[in-house]
Amino acid sequence: MHDLKMIADKALAALKDNGADKAQCAVRFTETHEFNVDGGKFSLFRTLFDNSLSLTAVKDDKKGSVGINRLDDDSIAAAAVNCLAIADSGAADPAWVFAEKSENGFFTAGAPEADLDLLFDRTEELMRQIGEQFPLILMEQMIVTHKKRHSVFKNSLGVEYETLSGNYEISLMFSAHEGEKSSSFFGSGVITDRLDVPFMELGTIREDLENVSKQLDTQPLEGKFTGVAVFPPSSLGTFIGSALGNFASDGTLLDGTSPWKDCLGKVVADPAITISATPLDERIVCGERFTGEGFRSENYDIIKGGVLESFMLSGYVANKTGLPRAKNSSYAIVMKPGETPYADIIAGIERGILVGRFSGGEPGTSGDFSGVAKNSFLIENGKITCALSETMISGNLGDLLKNVVAISSEVVCDGATVLPYAAFGGVTVSGK
Amino acid sequence: MLQDIITPHKHLLPGDAHAELRAQLSRSSRVTLLSGNLTANAKSEVSGVSARVYKNGVYGFSSMAECSDDAVRAVLKAADENARFMDRRAPAGKGPLTPIADGFRPLAADISDPDQKLYADFARAIDAYIAEKYPNLSSRAVIATSDSMEKLLITSDGQGGHTISPRSYMYVFLNSETTSGTPIELFEAYGGSGTFDLNFTDPAGLYGEIDKLYERLMQKREGVYAEAGMKTCILSGNLTGMLAHEAVGHTVEADLVLGGSVAAHSLGKVVASEKVSLVDFAHTALGVEAPLPVYLDDEGTPATDTEIIKDGVLVGFMNSRESADHFGMKATGHARAWSFSDEPLIRMRNTAVLPGTDKLEDMIASVDDGYYFISTNNGQADTTGEFMFGVCMGYEIKNGKLGRALLDTTISGVAFEMLKTVDMVSDQMTWTSSGFCGKKQPMPVGCGGSDIRCRVMVGGR
């Protein structure tokens, strides 16, 4: 086992010795155990022992970064020389950020030690339950993993964090089959630090298997209508991620193309919408404890009651734009539930679509989206009716956020996000 | 260059099972200029060893981020134990893999790893050209990037080799707005197989290409939305290549066939018009080196071409050694791994729709009311063959002539239905190779094709 603190000290010293004005390093050891199922059968068991060392240095306001995975003295020394050479090749920019020392810490999170026998048993149990309860389902691939991570982060301003964490990940890709009939494939997954609950009952795994089993017989939509689109947590996460990525993140604020660039403190969404980035929420498994720039992570609201409370900016882009830095790296998205039960939302829709998965290009900064509604159902007169094929949906992400029909009182936690079911109006649904 | 630390350990490969032992060094470099701001300037180098052991139909795998004798022994031991665990807990009861002949492919040529300054200087020169010549853009991005995989492989069959696969690219993104204020973007990737210093010797060599990209962006500023519905269209080689990869190629990867893809029921059947033939080339395509040549896969199989569709009939799958045994086909070198810590998966190499005999101008002249779609910025497909591609550049065709440029739209359909509508195929090929295919692991792939005339669903606005 490597002494990660000693390696971090060596790396920082090497960067300083080579002339860095400021420097940081992150060293990590990861041990992975992974069971694979392919075509419905167990196929592979993997065990991986991995290291990584990332070095960042700034000299004369020029920044360079190097990543290696060899931790011997010669490799660290060579990487430090390389890092400064890369910095020298760059352009001076005073906006680069290294966190000042505030409160160092040692963090433990999740389940660092794997119970591989129980993990295999739970995987076998899920395969058996799927066979018994969802006989039409063919598991294209299932990957069940435990990862143990031990890492040390240090910078030249005295910041030091050590983390020991571990978690299980369950990832499924499957479709339904009967004779030559086949549904579209669907992906489902969760992150967890517990093995006391059957995998079938985690996240939306059971619901996803049920829905896909009903998608063998699909019908193309005839014509076109503008109506309500209901997004379950899996596809809602995709849309929220696209909207926030286009409107509130580093890239579009730095190049000035975000349509929300002048909207801080202003209404950008329906009052029912509150979206937060909360890595310290106990429902988030192994949430971030510090950012890549070395700041301690804190929970924060991105949109609160429809008002844009914060952009999701790194310290670098905050310095470039004069806008405030976000309090974490904004991976752990939590959306506040509404007051309407999911069943009542469906019951209240005259004509709409339940969007299981969106297959389309990443919307541009305009927020316009257009793509195929995969694994989706038509909603008519308050009921989910037929599964759809060759049906497209289109609209605008910004408009969507302002056009909330209802947000469910239920939320689903998959270990990485906590999201409700949400219904939005004004979505164009078109068939052949 | 990788030192050969694995051949001396060949005697440690388990005698009662098939095994592979691999050492790998992967490098990447990236410089990103976002509207003149250097937002990324980074280099990565990772190496290690891995072993995979096959026992009675199940695999054990292990890797370690060290290139040492101890690491080789450790991964062989762990992979063997993992294979035995699986054979005990989830027995598949299969026999041994069909052996492949002895052999070793030596390294053809070593490569240099250029200084990062070369990337940064080249990117700055391109950015300065754009900033000075086209100051009216709303934003721009220039990315200089490269990656390479160097692998040393031995297998218990006695087959192995030493290979290096470098590639390098310049990406240019140009952004503007339509007259009504809608943001628009076009991008292009330049480069291909080879190291950055050999592919990019003079920034001025790209200026003409950037001028063409800008010209198209300005046409797009005045663009119109495509009309939604089923249309007669011409897809450029870029889109045909995307179709070959996403909507056909994945469905004929044997692991996805076993997972229930549409191709499971289509072998030997007509899946396209007789004008359509599709091949996954290994290292040489139509008499020249393929965009990303593969000579040996990571199971030790020498790579040869795989015929997928011949004159409209589905004739083959892409296989690993195990799936080739299952389907009674020949393994042709598709099992590839991205990093030292990745196991080989069935992957495409250079997948393409073969050229026909039609002239593009005749194809355009043959369309009364349709579209010519020339660039795509994304594409997704299902194992049913249902696809959706984003189209970021195209033109109307009215009465046999190109008309106004188009704003972003989408096309969609079901591959084995849409390909039956192909009635013209041009005599020219277009290849792309800058992207990654995503399937548990990333993997560089080439895809290509000719212009095709077909009926396809257009998404409109």
pLDDT computed for residue B460 by the predictor:
60
Please answer whether residues A385 and A353 qualify as being in contact, where contact means their C-beta atoms are separated by less than 8 angstroms.
no
Token pair, residue B7, equals 């051949």
| Residue A428 φ/ψ region, left for φ over 0, alpha for ψ in the -120 to 50 degree band, beta for the rest | beta
What burial class does residue B93 get, using C-beta atoms within 10 Å of its C-beta: 0-12 exposed, 13-18 middle, 19+ buried? exposed
Please answer whether residues B432 and B236 qualify as being in contact, where contact means their C-beta atoms are separated by less than 8 angstroms.
no
Q: Which of B21, B339, B321, B59 is nearest to A38 (CA)?
A: B59
C-alpha separations of A411 from A40, A137, A206, A229, A277 in Å: 30, 26, 15, 18, 16
Question: Tokens 């571990």 — which residue?
Answer: A166
Domain check: are A201 and A229 in the same one?
no
Please answer whether residues A110 and A85 qualify as being in contact, where contact means their C-beta atoms are separated by less than 8 angstroms.
no
Answer yes or no: is pLDDT of B14 > 90.
no
pLDDT computed for residue B195 by the predictor:
97
Grouping H, G, I as helix, E, B as strand and the rest as coil, residue B114 is coil
Q: Which of A236, A180, A179, A176 is nearest to A209 (CA)?
A: A176
pLDDT computed for residue B126 by the predictor:
98
Q: At what angle do helices B204-221 and B116-133 cross, to 10 degrees?
A: 40
The closest CB to that of B459, out of A251, A320, A370, belongs to A370
Domain check: are A292 and A190 in the same one?
no
Distance (Å) from the alpha carbon of A333 to chain B's nearest alpha carbon = 24
Q: Of A213, A248, A270, which residue constitutes the final position of a domain?
A: A213
Q: Which of A372, A364, A361, A368 is nearest to B378 (CA)?
A: A361
CA–CA–CA angle A332, A372, B260 (5° rounding): 90
ipTM over 0.85: yes
Q: Which of A250, A270, A272, A246 is nearest to A259 (CA)?
A: A246
| Residue A381 φ/ψ region, left for φ over 0, alpha for ψ in the -120 to 50 degree band, beta for the rest | left
C-alpha separations of A92 from A45, A96, A210, B363 in Å: 48, 9, 56, 52
| Residue B78 φ/ψ region, left for φ over 0, alpha for ψ in the -120 to 50 degree band, beta for the rest | alpha
Contact B390 A392 (CB under 8 A): no
Percent of chain B with pLDDT over 70: 100
The closest CB to that of B43, out of A86, A257, A371, belongs to A86
C-alpha separations of B363 from B241, B275, B353, B373, B376 in Å: 18, 14, 17, 13, 20
Q: Which amino acid makes up residue B203?
A: P
pLDDT one-digit tens code per residue, B322-357: 999 999 999 999 999 999 999 999 999 999 999 999
B261 pLDDT band, cuts 50/70/90, is: very high
Domain check: are A160 and A284 in the same one?
no
What's the whole-number average pLDDT of chain B? 95
Rg of the Cα trace of chain B?
Answer: 24
Contact A66 B59 (CB under 8 A): no
The closest CB to that of A362, out of B139, B343, B378, belongs to B378
Q: Which residues of B touch A316 (CB under 8 A)?
A: 39
- CA B387 – CA B391 distance, rounded (Å): 13
Q: Which amino acid makes up residue B108?
A: A
pLDDT computed for residue A143 by the predictor:
98
pLDDT one-digit tens code per residue, B134-165: 999 999 999 999 999 999 999 998 889 999 99
Grouping H, G, I as helix, E, B as strand and the rest as coil, residue A350 is coil
- DSSP bridge pairs for B391: B376, B409
Domain check: are A275 and A316 in the same one?
yes
Q: Name which of B32, B262, B341, B439 to mutate to probe chain A: the one with the most chain A Cβ atoms within 10 A of its Cβ.
A: B341
What burial class does residue A16 get, using C-beta atoms within 10 Å of its C-beta: 0-12 exposed, 13-18 middle, 19+ buried? middle
Q: Which amino acid makes up residue A67?
A: G
Could you tell me whether strands B58-64 and B37-55 are parallel, antiparallel, or unpaired per DSSP bridges?
antiparallel
Non-local (6+) Cβ contacts of B51 within 8 A are B19, B20, B21, B22, B61, B62, B63, B72, B75, B76, B78, B79, B80
What does the CA dihedral B231, B234, B236, B239 come to, rounded to 10 degrees? 30
Q: Nearest chain B Cα to A120, which residue?
A: B89
pLDDT computed for residue B103 by the predictor:
87
The closest CB to that of A360, out of B119, B388, B440, belongs to B388
pLDDT computed for residue A1 by the predictor:
60
- Residue B220 or residue A366, greater confidence: B220
C-alpha separations of B68 from A25, B9, B47, B268 in Å: 25, 11, 11, 49
Contact A360 B461 (CB under 8 A): no
Domain check: are A201 and A257 in the same one?
no
pLDDT computed for residue A360 by the predictor:
83
Domain count, chain A: 3
- DSSP bridge pairs for B234: B372, B453
Q: Which amino acid makes up residue B451?
A: D
| Chain B (127-146) residues lying within 8 Å, Cβ to Cβ, of chain A | 138-139, 141
What burial class does residue A51 get, using C-beta atoms within 10 Å of its C-beta: 0-12 exposed, 13-18 middle, 19+ buried? buried
Please answer whether residues A44 and B61 qualify as being in contact, where contact means their C-beta atoms are separated by less than 8 angstroms.
yes
Grouping H, G, I as helix, E, B as strand and the rest as coil, residue B374 is strand
B232 pLDDT band, cuts 50/70/90, is: very high
Domain check: are A122 and A31 in the same one?
yes
Non-local (6+) Cβ contacts of B15 within 8 A are none
Non-local (6+) Cβ contacts of B111 within 8 A are B148, B164, B166, B195
Could you tell me whether strands A404-413 and A383-389 are parallel, antiparallel, or unpaired per DSSP bridges?
unpaired
Could you tell me whether strands A224-231 and A351-354 are parallel, antiparallel, or unpaired per DSSP bridges?
parallel
Domain check: are A314 and A384 in the same one?
no
pLDDT one-digit tens code per residue, B61-108: 999 999 999 999 999 999 999 999 999 999 999 999 998 888 889 998
- Size of chain B in residues: 461
Domain check: are A314 and A326 in the same one?
yes
First to last CA, chain B: 51
Token pair, residue A394, equals 């289109």
- CA A311 – CA A331 distance, rounded (Å): 13
- Size of chain A in residues: 432
- CA B219 – CA B393 distance, rounded (Å): 9
Distance (Å) from the alpha carbon of B286 to chain A's nearest alpha carbon = 32
Answer yes or no: is pLDDT of B461 > 70.
no
Could you tell me whether strands B369-381 and B229-235 are parallel, antiparallel, or unpaired per DSSP bridges?
parallel
Contact B82 A89 (CB under 8 A): no
Q: Of A315, A335, A355, which residue constitutes the final position of a domain?
A: A335
Question: Tokens 């906590």 — which residue?
Answer: A418
What does the CA dihedral B145, B149, B150, B155 come to, rounded to 10 degrees? 180
The closest CB to that of B258, out of A38, A254, A361, belongs to A38
Identify the CATH number of the domain in which residue A79 sits: 3.30.2290.10
Grouping H, G, I as helix, E, B as strand and the rest as coil, residue B342 is coil
Q: Which residues of A touch B79 (CB under 8 A)?
A: 47
Domain check: are A190 and A223 in the same one?
no
Q: Domain ranges for chain B, please list them.
A: 7-221, 229-458
Grouping H, G, I as helix, E, B as strand and the rest as coil, residue B372 is strand
pLDDT computed for residue B110 by the predictor:
87
- CA B137 – CA B418 distance, rounded (Å): 38
Q: Is B183 on the interface with A (CB under 8 A)?
A: yes
Domain check: are A228 and A310 in the same one?
no
Contact A69 B262 (CB under 8 A): no
Question: Tokens 């393929």 — which residue?
Answer: B290
Q: Nearest chain A Cα to B47, which residue?
A: A69
CA–CA–CA angle A401, A406, A411 (5° rounding): 95
Domain check: are A321 and A309 in the same one?
yes
Domain check: are A204 and A174 in the same one?
yes
Per-residue pLDDT of chain A (432 residues), as tens digits, is 679 999 999 999 999 999 999 999 999 999 999 999 999 999 999 999 999 999 999 999 999 999 999 999 999 999 999 999 999 999 999 999 999 998 899 999 999 999 999 999 999 999 999 999 999 999 999 999 999 999 999 999 999 999 999 999 999 999 999 998 999 999 999 999 999 999 999 999 999 999 999 999 999 888 889 999 999 998 999 999 999 999 999 999 998 989 999 999 999 999 999 999 999 999 999 999 999 999 999 999 999 999 999 999 999 999 999 999 999 999 999 999 999 999 999 999 999 999 999 988 778 788 888 888 999 999 999 999 999 988 889 899 999 999 999 999 999 999 999 999 999 999 999 887
Helix (H) or strand (E) holding B175, with range, is strand B159-177
* Mean pLDDT of the region B245-267: 95
What class is the B7-221 domain? alpha beta
pLDDT computed for residue A222 by the predictor:
86
Q: Domain range for residue A273?
A: 239-335
